[in-house]
Structure 1
């Protein structure tokens, strides 16, 4: 009975730990590679609705904070508001 309880306790600890380890993310190999994937088409883009614009702006904030876009591109996106 103790052996079974120990096995169950071990499984309850190990399985979530393995699941979390498998769900990890790794950084892109380089900002240049990520930039080539993402591009800069969203710079200055305006959404058709306020909800669309919020989605675009949230994406832009992440790209700017991650250094994918240059400071000039980030500044240009914020112009014209």
Structure 2
């Protein structure tokens, strides 16, 4: 009985530790898909249309505040 309780507690502790480290799965795949979108699929950065696809993806990521304002601004910089 004690071994079962210990295993259960260990599993719960690991679950909470992984969530605290930010490596757990997203709360909603559908939500993540709405933020990231599907524009990036097939984009290779070789054409102006590819760049528009990349930019549309970045807009969703920035709008959801996944990236900081500084990171979003950096995307728009020309190298």
TM class by smaller structure: 0.3 to 0.5
TM-score, normalising length from structure 2?
A: 0.44
* TM-score computed with the length of structure 1 as normaliser: 0.43
User: RCO higher in 1 or 2 (8 Å CA, sep ≥ 6)?
Assistant: 1
